[in-house]
Structure formats: structure tokens, C-alpha cells
Amino acid sequence: MIDIITVNWNAGYQLKECLESVIANNKNEVSRIIVVDNGSTDNSANEVEKLPNVEVIRTGQNLGFAAACNIGAKAGQSPYILFLNPDTRLEPESLSIPLAFMENPENKKVGICGIQLVDEQGKVSRTCARFPTLGRLLSSALGFDKLPGLKGRGVHMADWDHCTTTRVGHVMGAFYFIRRETFELAGGFDERFFVYLEDVDLSKRVAQIGWDIWYLTQSRAYHAGGGTSRQVKARRLFYSLRSRLLYAFKHFPVWQAWLLIFITNAIEPFTRSVWCLMRGDVVGVKNTFEAYRMLWRSMGHILRGDGRYNP
């Protein structure tokens, strides 16, 4: 009943561990396990090809997360799709509980659900988010949501302990369980988002067409966090900034998008650097300005709404 789609880009040993956890905890819920490999060079895709029920689709290059997810989704036919990051590991009820929740007739208008994600210490990660607004993005961008008493001002629901099942705006794309019907009605992922916010954008469009999104605490999975993008911090920040601006031009009034561009380009590099220096992170300052160098070079592509762009 479930097609599991995992996008791989040099995930190393994490990919195999993730898929082995899927196989170990599959109670006949999983139809296909599809790995879309975005041009990995670390042999991780070769390592999983011999695992039972695992199919590898090789794109030959890094197409970005959104495009790879769409390729994987088109390869399956099951009524449910689970987009699962390679830096996750499932537990015994990670699949059966969300499937049962979605199959419950009372939840027929739930299009997406996520489960509780925990870190290496078993601590519950605060993974749900509100839909971005100009104020929330600016709060996150300028670090105001890091200040005591202001943790609930940003996009991330950091002010909530994530210990209760509830309806939310968005669940993290690391474990993104969606009805195929919902995915197709919403038009799938917008491939202009190379990585970051493509899942938020999809959740936004899913909500706009009348589906609900829920976060479930009855089951959990391990999530390392940061994924393989932690290997390239400057580029990771660049893609995050780029996706933010793409999202603003797609969902905000034009004047708000332009205001966000100004704040992002002219003020945020310096506020980010101050936050880095307060932590004694000199390398972080270097990565910040390397990311902004890429962003400034890409502004023409962003304003034109171009597709994939690799600086």
C-alpha cells in the first residue's frame, strides 16, 4: 500500500541503515522501495541495490530533492507515498500507525501526516512548522526567534514540545506520508526548489485545496538531521536562502517579496555574522558570506523564477 521514496546524494552508510530499517519493520505495508540516486559518487547506491525489494533509479546528476522525489513518485502506483530521508531509521510501528490513521474513515480528508522524530539521544525533535509569513521569515532570518520568549515567533514550532497528536500546518519532509491522490491533485513538488521549502510549498498547496495535515505521536523514527547537506554548509545556506525567496514570490504579495529580498540581501548577512561571532564560530562567518556570494550571483535566476540553478 505504500511506495517509499528515498532520495540519495552521497548519504554513505546512512542510506543502507535506513533501508534495512524499512525492510525490518515492513509488516506487508510496503509495495516498493525506490531510491532515486542524484549522481552519488560514494558507492552508497551500489551498496543497497542487492537489498530485497529495493529499486535504484540513477539520474546521473544532482537534480535536486524536489525533482528526484517526483521521479520516484511517478515510478510507483501505491495509494500512499512515504518520502523518507536517508538519514532516518524506522521503528516497529513507524509505518503501521500512520497507515492505520490514514485508512480510518474519520481521517479521509487528511492528505499528509508525519510522526515523531527523535535525535541520537532519543530527544523529540521539534519538526513541525507554521506556514511562512513575511513576519515569521524575518524573525527566523534575523534570529529574533532565538531570543528568550520569542521562540514561537518564527516558522518552526519551537515553542511546542511536540508531545501531542494534533493538526499542524506542515510536517518535516524527512518523513512525509502523503496520499497519492493528494500528491497528484496538488501537482507534486515544485522542481524550482532545489532543496529546502519544497515540502513546505507542497503542504501549502495541499492545504489550499482542502486537505488536512497531522502530526502523530503514537509512532516515531530516528532522524539524524541535516542530512548529507551538512557536508556543504555554505551551499546548504545558499539553497535555503534561495528557496525562501522563491517561496515568497510564489505565495506573498509582490511588495512583501521585494521587502524580503532587501532584508535578506542587505541586512541578514551581517546579523547572521553577529550571531556566529557570539558563538565564537569564525568559520560560520566565512560560510555565511560564501553562501551570500552565491545568492547575489543567482538573483537574476531567482527573479526570473528559473528552474534548477547550481552556482
Q: Three-state SS string across 150-174, please?
A: CCCCCCECCCCCCCCCEECCECCCC
Q: Does the structure show a pLDDT above 90 at 42?
A: yes
State pLDDT tens for residues 281-302.
888 888 899 999 999 998 888 8
Please check whether residue 155 lies inside any domain of the structure: no
Last residue of a domain, one of 223, 250, 276: 223
Q: Are residues 73 and 113 in the same domain?
A: yes
SS3 state at 271? helix
Please check whether residue 142 lies inside any domain of the structure: no
Cα separation of 80 and 77, whole Å? 8
Q: Whole-prediction pTM value?
A: 0.91
Cα separation of 235 and 229, whole Å? 8
Q: Are residues 75 and 173 in the same domain?
A: yes
Containing domain of residue 68, as a range?
A: 2-127+162-223
Q: Give the list of residues 6+ apart from residue 269 with CB closer than 8 angstroms, or none.
A: 288, 289, 292
CB 90 within 8 A of CB 83: no
Q: Are residues 177 and 286 in the same domain?
A: no
Q: Are residues 98 and 243 in the same domain?
A: no
Q: Are residues 208 and 281 in the same domain?
A: no
Please check whether residue 148 lies inside any domain of the structure: no
Q: Are residues 29 and 122 in the same domain?
A: yes
And the C-alpha cell for 154?
518564527
Average pLDDT across the chain, whole number: 91
Q: Are residues 216 and 241 in the same domain?
A: no
Q: Are residues 175 and 299 in the same domain?
A: no
CATH number of the domain where residue 202 is located? 3.90.550.10
Q: Directed axis angle between helix 268-278 and helix 282-304, to 10°? A: 160
pLDDT value of residue 226: 59
Assign 141 a pLDDT band (cuts: 50, 70, 90).
confident
Dihedral sign, Cα of residue 96, residue 101, residue 104, residue 109: negative
Please check whether residue 89 lies inside any domain of the structure: yes
Cα separation of 178 and 58, whole Å? 23
Q: Are residues 290 and 244 in the same domain?
A: yes
What's the structural domain count of the chain? 2
Q: Contacts for 272-281 with beta carbons within 8 Å, 24 or more apart?
A: 272/143, 275/143, 275/146
Last residue of a domain, one of 196, 223, 250: 223
CA angle 17, 81, 89 (to 5 degrees): 20
Q: Which of 165-174, 177-186, 260-269 shows the lowest mean pLDDT across its residues? A: 260-269
Please check whether residue 154 lies inside any domain of the structure: no
Assign 156 a pLDDT band (cuts: 50, 70, 90).
confident
- How far CA 106 is from CA of 109, 184, 202, 243, 264, in Å, comes to 8, 22, 23, 35, 43
Q: Are residues 108 and 244 in the same domain?
A: no
And the C-alpha cell for 188?
507534486
Please check whether residue 310 lies inside any domain of the structure: no
Q: Directed axis angle between helix 134-142 and helix 254-262, to 10°? A: 10
pLDDT value of residue 309: 62
In angstroms, the first-to-last Cα distance of the chain is 39
Q: Which of 157-171, 224-238, 249-263 shows the lowest mean pLDDT across its residues? A: 224-238
Q: Are residues 113 and 252 in the same domain?
A: no
Please check whether residue 242 lies inside any domain of the structure: yes
State pLDDT tens for residues 241-256.
999 999 999 999 999 9
**Which amino acid, one-letter code, is at 46?**
N
And the C-alpha cell for 123?
530527544
- Name the more confident of 68 and 302: 68
pLDDT value of residue 152: 67
